[in-house]
Amino acid sequence: MNNLVNFIIESGISLALLSLIYLLFLRKETFFRLNRLFLLFSILFSVILPFLHFRVYAPQSNMLAEVTVTPYRNVLEAVTIYGQDLSGAMVKSISSSKIIILIYLLGLFFFLGRMIFRIIQILRIISKNEVQRIDNYRFVLVDKEFSPFSFLGYIFINPNMKKKPGYEKMVTHEMEHIKQGHTFDVLILEILTVFQWFNPFMWMLKRAIRENHEYLADHAVLNSGISLGQYKQLLLSQAVGMQLDIANNFNSSLVKKRIQMISRIRSSKLANLKYILGFVSLLALVVIFACEQKETLQVTKIEDSNERKITVRLLDDRMRLEGNQEDLEYLHGLLNEKNKYEFDTDSTGAVFLVKSKEQQPLQLDKEDQVFFIVEEMPEFPGGDLALRKYIANSIKYPDIAIENGIQGKVYVTFVVTSEGQIANTKIARGVDPSIDREAVRVVNSLPKWKPGYQRGKPVNVSYTVPINFVLQ
């Protein structure tokens, strides 16, 4: 569901921006073919934008000056946590609202049903009336008063209209719709409208493309030899009868705009510079939505001295494990010592790791000795890099901190006990209560370490880890 909501939001925002650019800057220009390409590319771009993911840079762990110069190994490199982007926050908010989802689905099924009904309506007209094939066109002769229209390779027309003046030009107009493939544009728009029915810019875009289709067909008819005055008279003389929104109609409520457009002086070549604005907008949308730190599938290898290898895939609130049975059992044994995780198997046999209920943080007695540096320092399973990855993958940027624009570096101190457990976790330097609590929670959830040794005996060793919370 999150992926669908993300698609709807990002494609909707893209459609809105590109539609505004067209309506404000390009709509009145006479570059009809360029305008059509811009509109079609806007649709295509808006559809694929949610699937584009570019990693502009890989964030590096940061160390403050005081951390860099310290001679101790028990101060770790900073772990940088990035807050959710704008679209991610919107996705989370919408996905959690059942009422919004229900209303959206009702609209989706309504407009899907309407589109199917209109296509069936056209197919019934074809099946119930005589069809004549002339060259590459099929003429459906309908004994009703209506304005001619086209759909795919079919031209729907009343045979009695042959006696009226301008009949050939009306047919030429519909032929142009077919030659230029306007029906495919309309069908693509109808499908996209099913998903974007709530977006007012989607309806504006539909109308804009229909206008463009009529301008293109009108321009072709005028080039075929009819005078401008005669064609204007022909447009005004046609009465609107039966019309189907999914088809291309010769006459429509756009007549006034069509007359204005065919009378307009051709745009100067300098007007082409306006399309640069559209290109800049495309780049901006890519930067905003595609070049961001998104929550993606991450793969980590866990290795020990026996070269056991288990692949851990992070999937929402669970971790899927891949490896042979012996290695999985070994990992199970390690985790059960801490009792932080439980194993779960689905119907396909896939093994998942789910977090157990949080236990109370361990606190050492006051008389317990704590070392800051020892002969053999404690070691996190997999080393410092694995520790930073664990923290980065486990931590969640608090929503309230994102809403209030809070960011900064938190210093968390903790003790690795002689048994390898985490104890005495506290904030050495905080930023905000919400961020501080999250940092402490994740540090308390760390799995069992290999304890530190002094003179051959396991001892308690203090550590400090900076966690950098950064809003993007």
CB 139 within 8 A of CB 132: yes
The one-letter amino acid at 68: T
- pLDDT tens series, the chain, 472 aa: 556 677 777 888 888 888 888 888 887 777 888 888 888 888 888 888 877 765 444 333 333 223 222 333 455 556 665 555 445 555 555 555 678 888 888 999 999 999 999 999 999 999 999 999 888 889 999 888 777 888 888 999 888 877 777 778 888 888 888 998 888 988 988 998 898 888 888 888 888 888 888 888 888 888 777 777 777 777 766 644 455 566 665 544 567 677 777 777 677 777 777 777 777 877 777 776 666 444 433 334 444 445 566 676 655 556 667 777 677 666 666 665 445 566 666 655 666 666 655 557 888 888 889 998 888 999 988 888 888 888 888 888 888 888 888 888 889 999 999 999 999 999 988 989 988 999 898 889 888 899 999 999 999 999 888 888 887 6
What does the domain layout of the chain look like in residue ranges? 97-264, 297-357
Place of tokens 């490199």: 77
Q: What is the pLDDT of residue 301?
A: 46
Whole-angstrom distance, CA of residue 46 vs CA of residue 195? 12
Q: Are 45 and 14 in contact (CB under 8 A)?
A: yes
Q: How far apart are CA 331 and CA 113, in angstroms?
A: 52
Note whether 246 and 187 are within 8 A (CB): yes
